[in-house]
Amino acid sequence: MKKFIIICIMLLIPVRIKAIETSATSAILVDTDSGRILYSKDIHNKRSIASISKIMTAIIAIESDKLNDVVEINDSIDKAYGSGIYIKKGEHISLEDLVYGLMLRSGNDAALAISNYVGGSTEEFVNLMNNKAKELGMKNTLFRNPSGLDEEDGGNISTAYDMSLLISYAIKNDKFKEITGTKHHKIETDKNIYSWTNKNKLLFSYKNTTGGKTGFTVKARRTLVTTASKDNLNLAVVTLNDGNDFKDHQDLFEYGFNNYTNYQLLKKGTINIPDTNNNLEYYIENDYTYPLLETEEESILIKYNLEKNPKETAGNIEIYLGDKLLHKEPLFSKEKEIKQKKSLLQKIKEIFKHDK
C-alpha cells in the first residue's frame, strides 16, 4: 500500500499566446531536453526527407567509435551523384573528416564512403539506420540509403515528429554537436586540400543557432533541421517542404525563446518531504527541467508517492501540468546518519588531548 502526499496543487490557467504560422507542409518546434512540442503542423505526415537523412548517417558513424580511423576511398563512390565533396578513389581520409564533409557540404560521396566503411556495405549500414530509428521510437520512418537521394529507390521516408526525435537524441552527443555547429572546416589528405563552409545559413545569420542539416530533392523539396539554444532552453525545428525554411526556423526559435522559460522542477540529491519518517533521508538521482509559459508556472502539481515498506525504491515523484502527467522520477531512501551528542566529560577529554 502506498501513502500519497500531494505537495503542490494549482489550478490550470487557460493559455493564450500569439499564433504563428509557417510555409511548410509539416513543421515542429520542440524542446530537445524534455521533448515538449511547442509548435506543430501535420507532424505525422510521411514524406521523403532528402539530405536531413544524413543526421542518422552521422550519428551512427560517430557512435561507431571509428572516427579516428583512416578510410581508403574505394569503388563505392562511383555510384555517387548530386552534391559531393569530390573525394577520389584511393584517397585516404579520416572517418571524422568524412562526417564533416557529410554534414557541412551534404556530400553524397561521403555518405557512401561512410556507409561502406562503418557498415561493411551500404545495405548493412541501412540496417543500422533502421535499427537506430526503431530504438528512438521513430515509428513512421524508413531508411533506404545513407544520403537521402530519392530518384532510384523512393528515398528515405519520415515525418517532422520522427526527425525531431532523431535530432533531440543526436544533439546531446558532444561530437555531433561540434561537427554540425562548425561553420568552416579545412583538411589536407594525400590527394587534395579541402575547405568547406557549412550550408546551414542560420549558423551565420542567427546567433542562437547550434547546428542543423539542410536537404533538397525535387521530390522532397526543401527540408531543414536546425537547433538553437538560449537561456538554458535548447530547441529544435524540423520543416518538410518549406520554401521559406530559414526564415520560418528563425521565427519559430524566436517564438519559443520569447514565450517559454526552462524551469528546473527537480534537482538531484536530497529531497525534503514533510510528515515523513524522521529516520529516513529521501533522494533522487536526476535533475528534471521543463519549459513553461508564464501562464503555466502556477499549474504545476508535484505528487510524492511513498512506499509504506521501501525496498529497492522508496516510491516515486510525479509531476503534472494540470491533469497531464509530465514525468515520473524514482525516489530512493537511506537511513539518516545520527550524530550522537558528546557528554561534558568527552568534551573535556578532547580539550586535554589536543593540548598535549
Catalytic residue among 51, 83, 158, 164: 51
CA distance 148 to 340: 68
Catalytic residue list contains 328 = no
Catalytic residue among 26, 48, 54, 299: 54
Catalytic residue among 106, 147, 229, 299: 106
Catalytic residue list contains 51 = yes
Burial of residue 197 (number of CB atoms within 10 Å: 0-12, 13-18, 19+): middle
Catalytic residue list contains 106 = yes
Active-site annotation, residues: 51, 54, 106
